[in-house]
Amino acid sequence: MADEVGPPKDRKILVAVDESEESMHALSWCLKNVLFCGNYKDILILLYAIPPRAVYPTFDNTGHVFSSDFLAMMLKYNKDAADFVMQEAKRTCKEQAREVKVETRIEHGDPRDVICEMAEKLHVDMVVMGSHGYGLIKRTFLGSVSNHCVQNVKCPVLVVKRPRPDDFRSK
């Protein structure tokens, strides 16, 4: 008795993107190696998290050091950066996988929390993200977004490491 092949299933794949080469490498790797595998109709969700702004206390403990004009400029910069990253990510998708349906999300908050929350809220089947490849000391002080997501997201998380320039493995 042969297995019946039904209509393609919808599969949601969330790809976390930021300004780094590592996130764009992870996106490209996903487009080449994850999409269209099996009997799926993939939906790619590109997620950019605008990190919270730092608040520096002043001597009078008001919590504000910068003028409202400066804060507005920083918010505009963050939005412009997010828009630029999304444009580049969508261009990459169009070049490498024309048929894939792409959705975009720009959220505010700590990237660790945003990725975990969006993965659950959107009921994604997989999260794909790059790894900055920090060493032990940087990871200790800065934290590892990918490690946090691997530990806390309820669906599979694929962490794509960028090959080192001196990595001569065959392709």
pLDDT of residue 54: 65
pLDDT digits (tens, 9 = 90+) for 56-84: 554 445 555 666 777 788 889 999 999 99
Give the CATH architecture of domain 9-161: 3-Layer(aba) Sandwich (3.40)
CA dihedral (117, 118, 123, 126) positive or negative: negative
Residue whose C-alpha is closest to residue 124's, from 100, 85, 157? 157
pTM listed for this prediction: 0.80
Within the chain, which residues score under 50 in pLDDT? 1, 58-60, 142, 170-171
Give the helix/strand (H/E) hosting 118.
helix 111-121
pLDDT of residue 53: 73
Contact criterion met (CB below 8 Å) for 100 and 80 = no
Under 8 Å CB-to-CB from 118, ≥6 apart: which residues?
Answer: 14, 45, 47, 105, 107, 124
Q: Any idea where the domains of the chain sit in the sequence?
A: 9-161
